[in-house]
Amino acid sequence: METQLFVQIALNGWNQQVARAEKFFNGLSDEAFQRTVGAGKNRIIYLYGHLTAYHDMLKETLGLGTATHSFLVNDFLKNADDVKANMPSVAELRQYWAEVHNELNVLFAALPAEDWFKRHNAMTDEDFKKDPTRNRLSVLLSRTNHIAYHFGQLVLA
């Protein structure tokens, strides 16, 4: 019972942050995506792609599947924002965002509560034995904080 409660609290936080970011992004015009979040900082389109790519990779980190938009990794995770980069359009990013989060919703709902406390794929069995708090649920909490961090930047834009 407690395990399910902890997982539900974490999933509620994740869903809340995703919904807040989605509402923000959906309220922007295509032109607004070119604004930066501050002088010399990332553009909104970069943060949109960054969150989409990072969340897509979450499937692999949690051992729930394979990233379906791994082509986003180079432009949005491995490299800094570059106005000269050949990025997907806002319309394409909107589609990718929806696909990634719809898939995550299905995968998260199907994962039994006790499985959230198992090792994630970014660590070894040996490391997990040393620190079992570094589990799938902790990754979800970390990614939830990551959305909140970037959402704060977006609000300032």
DSSP string, 33-66: GGSBSSTTS-BHHHHHHHHHHHHHHHHHHTTS--
- C-alpha R_g of the chain: 16
pTM for the model stands at: 0.95
Taking only the tens place, the pLDDT of each residue in 122-155 is: 999 999 999 999 999 999 999 999 999 999 999 8
- Residue 101's contacts (CB-CB under 8 Å, 6 or more residues apart) are 18, 22, 55
Residue 10 corresponds to which tokens in the numbers above?
């974490």
Q: Which domains can be identified in the chain, with CATH numbers?
A: 2-156 (1.20.120.450)
Taking only the tens place, the pLDDT of each residue in 51-65 is: 999 999 999 999 999
